[in-house]
A and B are shown apart, each in its own frame.
Chain A
Amino acid sequence: MTRKQKRLSVIAGGLAFLGAATGLTFYALGQKASYFYMPADLTTASLQPGQRIRLGGLVEKGTIERGQGATVAFSVTDNQKQVKVTYTGILPDLFREEQGVITEGTFRPDGVFVADSVLAKHDENYMPKEVADGLKAKGVWQESKSE
């Protein structure tokens, strides 16, 4: 190979590498990014079976049931619709009734949301930003909620 051919092959190799990395990145974004929904959005959203989503809202008052072992069930509401969620594990310290949470997981065929992670914000408002924005968009946000 001449020097020019060598240089070209090095450049071509580098570009092929970058191309592959770009392709992989965008494939992964399409596959692995999870969308955020509030309960009322779910009626209009078209979810694939088994698609991972993040479900956010307020923990509905009086719905927290502790089953046997470490499984907990509760309802997430946006004051329009509710979704029943089950979660096995330790709830975050900031998890409590009528406070904002974000749960991540998939829907079971019977419509129960099986979460594998539950997040509550580390802040005195106990309100994840996504949930606050969502509640504001739905017109059910009350400033007093954040106290």
Chain B
Amino acid sequence: MVETGHFALVLAFALALVQTLVPLFGARMNNQKMMAVGGPVAVTGFALTALSFAALAIAYATSDFSVANVWDNSHSLQPLIYKITGTWGNHEGSMLLWVLILTFFGALVAAFGSNLPATLRANVLAVQGAIGATFFLFILATSNPFARLNPAPIEGRDLNPILQDLGLAIHPPLLYLGYVGFSICFSFSVAALIEGRIDASWARWVRPWTLVAWMFLTGGIAMGSYWAYYELGWGGFWFWDPVENASFMPWLAGTALLHSAIVMEKRSALKIWTLLLAILTFSLSLLGTFLVRSGVLTSVHAFATDPTRGVFILCILTLFIGGSLALFAFRASRLTAGGLFHPISREGALVLNNLFLTTATATVLIGTLYPLAVEAVSADKISVGAPFFNLTFGPLMVPLLVVVPFGPLLAWKRGDIFAVAQRLMAAFAAALLAVLVTALFIDGASVFAALGVGLAFWLICGALTDIAVKSGFGTVATGTMFRRFAGLPRSVFGTALAHLGLGLTTLGIVGTLCFGTEKILSMHAGETVQLSGHTLRFEGLYPAQGPNYSEDRGRFALLDADGSTTAIITSSKRSYPVRQMTTTESGIKTIGFSQLYLSLGDEGTDGSVVVRLWWKPLVTLIWGGSLVMMAGAAMSLMDRRLRVGAPSRRRKSTGAVPSASLP
């Protein structure tokens, strides 16, 4: 079975080469048969990669320690779920998941792209095949997951205990669906450059792919953040770690792309910019893959430290980023610029969004790469952490968040800012009220905290205003309003939901950072501690045994006003004998949207235990808001306009819209 997997992978590599070359030349020579090869080959390539992945997953599930990769990252005593998720909890397996998702998206284009012009489809599949081919070669040459051991060891070396968590089942697949999903936007852009033409219908094809990738990336980042929050026991939800930044940069650029693609689709403006953004977004995904997989960074994610792998990925990076940007430089002048617009208009607002988001991406990029650059040119080792990003990223985001509610209410082409401001009066009043309530009743000490809460309410109420205004609230009869509400395009709801989610996430971040409290103390059994109005009693440490670990469980009782127990929170120190590692399992109690978070430290000589406690107000909104953003993207995807792509193209081909732009 394992050899079958390896063989399937080699076949998939060969097919990826076919998928690159045949459709590409077919499109060049306008040969229908050659172009048609792309589709079936892409689907077969995906099937073979899936077979290969399944072979590895089965080796993991059955604990076949004759496979070096399984031996290195699994143990027979692990629960089955961690045996299976261990498939991608290592360098080789995660790269295999990467190409699996890449070929999956290629197969999707082949399956759903029947309404694409034949040459565009052929070129898209060719570019997708080229990306696949390089990564297949990378896996086969440097990171073979199917290498055997002889003689086979009896027992494996266990999966890194930090990864033995449900988070590993969700975070990497979601993240990769996002990261790699942007490859489709990249392939569409490069295909458009190869053809030297781009029109508004191009944006209609690219936008759903961007939405899908963005939706998964949002989920992947949020899930990774929550995982780090509860697993590492540090109580933080974002560390500005280079690896987090590696996934955050494509998200920022992808968010910009999502917005500029709207302008391109609706107004056929910003064509060249949208195309460049699509290239940059996937380039940042590739850069992220390089940063995480090459071992240049110290991090939980850096499984591999083999320098040949780093050099190989760097070559892939140079090939695709350099190649696509060179193609852009040569061909972009062939594409004509589109419609004009007034600075104060929906387009203007979206350009402003892009200006802020790309600048923010650039600051994160500089902060992430600067230490590597400094280390390369001098002996100094520096680190750029949260203080840098708070100083640069924060000031860039705040003005952007302030203007978000204006965008969807402005008219295309030329907007009336005063009319929009008038409509937003209610939202502004709500935000002001939130500021006053926060300052007067909750915490008058910090002006920033009050303003932060106000900003969050401004976003939330702004999103609701958008829906209210568009369904005619207050201007038409109630019956008409409900009819209009039901008739609003799904994408309008999508926008409002996404912006609402952004407001909720902002509220969660402000709540946690500004109103959170923490305590570190050493406790004896029976002692109680107060934190932000909650009383906890330490009941003691109890030993317990898991399938492949032993643990000391600290039990804490949450007491109400009369001293009776309302909940038990446990935090434990686990020790995994195979890897000789200990991990801390934090104890979390969710109260409303807030959480009481505690984590266990070392035992003192006198039988006391160091305990760190946090009260994290509204913290769940950080991830809840991300879920709402994902729901917004899903809602937008259901928009009729995106589902039915073909009719609009037929209308175009009658010459109603002169959008093709051949020189």
Which residues of A pack against B, CB within 8 Å? 6, 10, 14, 17-18, 21, 24-25, 28-29, 31-36, 52, 54, 66, 68-70, 72, 88-91, 93-94, 104, 121-122, 124, 128-130, 133-134
Tell me how far the C-beta of B638 lies from the nearest C-beta in chain A, rounded to whole angstroms: 35
Q: A21-B359, A21-B396, A124-B579 are in contact. Are A29 and B612 (CB under 8 A)?
A: no
Please classify the interface of chain B as helix (H, G, I), strand (E, B), loop, or mixed, using the class held by over half of its residues.
mixed
Q: In the complex, are the beta carbons of B612 and A90 less than 8 A apart? A: yes
Q: In the complex, are the beta carbons of A88 and B520 less than 8 A apart? A: yes
Contacts of A28 in B (CB 8 A): 387-388, 391-392
Give the docked Cα–Cα distance between A33 and B388 (Å).
7
Give the docked Cα–Cα distance between A25 and B382 (Å).
16
Q: Does B338 lie at the interface of the complex (its beta carbon under 8 Å from any beta carbon of A)?
A: no
Contact bitstring B569-585, A, C-beta under 8 A = 1, else 0 = 00001000001011110
Tell me how far the C-beta of B236 lies from the nearest C-beta in chain A, rounded to whole angstroms: 10
Top-4 shortest CB links A-B: A36-B381, A90-B601, A32-B388, A32-B387
Q: In the complex, are the beta carbons of B581 and A93 less than 8 A apart? A: yes
With an 8 Å Cβ cutoff, the count of chain B residues facing the other chain is 43
Contacts of B584 in A (CB 8 A): 90, 93
* 8 further A-B pairs in the complex, CB-CB below 8 A; given A21-B362, A70-B610: A24-B391, A32-B384, A34-B383, A52-B387, A54-B381, A70-B522, A89-B601, A121-B298
Q: Which residues of chain B from 585 to 603 have any CB-CB distance to chain A below 8 Å in the complex?
A: 599-602
Contacts of A14 in B (CB 8 A): 355
Contacts of A66 in B (CB 8 A): 602, 604-605
Q: Does B521 lie at the interface of the complex (its beta carbon under 8 Å from any beta carbon of A)?
A: yes
Q: Does B516 lie at the interface of the complex (its beta carbon under 8 Å from any beta carbon of A)?
A: no
Contacts of B610 in A (CB 8 A): 69-70, 90
Partner of B382, one of A36, A89, A124: A36
Q: Which residues of chain B from 350 to 390 have any CB-CB distance to chain A below 8 Å in the complex?
A: 355, 359, 362-363, 366-367, 370-371, 380-385, 387-388
Tell me how far the C-beta of B83 lies from the nearest C-beta in chain A, rounded to whole angstroms: 19
Q: Which residues of chain B from 252 to 298 have any CB-CB distance to chain A below 8 Å in the complex?
A: 298
Q: In the complex, are the beta carbons of B363 and A25 less than 8 A apart? A: yes
Contacts of A88 in B (CB 8 A): 520
Give the docked Cα–Cα distance between A124 and B233 (Å).
19
Q: In the complex, are the beta carbons of A17 and B298 less than 8 A apart? A: no
Q: A17-B359, A24-B392, A33-B388 are in contact. Are A122 and B383 (CB under 8 A)?
A: no
Of the A-B pairs whose beta carbons lie under 8 Å apart in the complex, a sample of 10, sorted by A's number, is: A21-B392, A28-B388, A29-B367, A32-B388, A36-B380, A69-B520, A70-B601, A70-B612, A93-B233, A93-B581
Q: In the complex, are the beta carbons of B583 and A93 less than 8 A apart? A: yes
Contact bitstring B491-513, A, C-beta under 8 A = 1, else 0 = 00000000000000000000000
Q: In the complex, are the beta carbons of A35 and B520 less than 8 A apart? A: no
Give the docked Cα–Cα distance between A112 and B162 (Å).
32
Q: In the complex, are the beta carbons of A21 and B383 less than 8 A apart? A: no
Give the docked Cα–Cα distance between A32 and B363 (Å).
14
Q: In the complex, are the beta carbons of A6 and B298 less than 8 A apart? A: no
Give the docked Cα–Cα distance between A21 and B300 (Å).
31
Q: In the complex, are the beta carbons of A91 and B388 less than 8 A apart? A: no
Partner of A130, one of B359, B381, B521, B605: B381
Most chain B CB inside 10 Å of its own CB: which residue of A6, A29, A36, A52:
A29
Q: Does B395 lie at the interface of the complex (its beta carbon under 8 Å from any beta carbon of A)?
A: yes
Tell me how far the C-beta of A61 lies from the nearest C-beta in chain B, rounded to whole angstroms: 17
Q: Does B31 lie at the interface of the complex (its beta carbon under 8 Å from any beta carbon of A)?
A: no
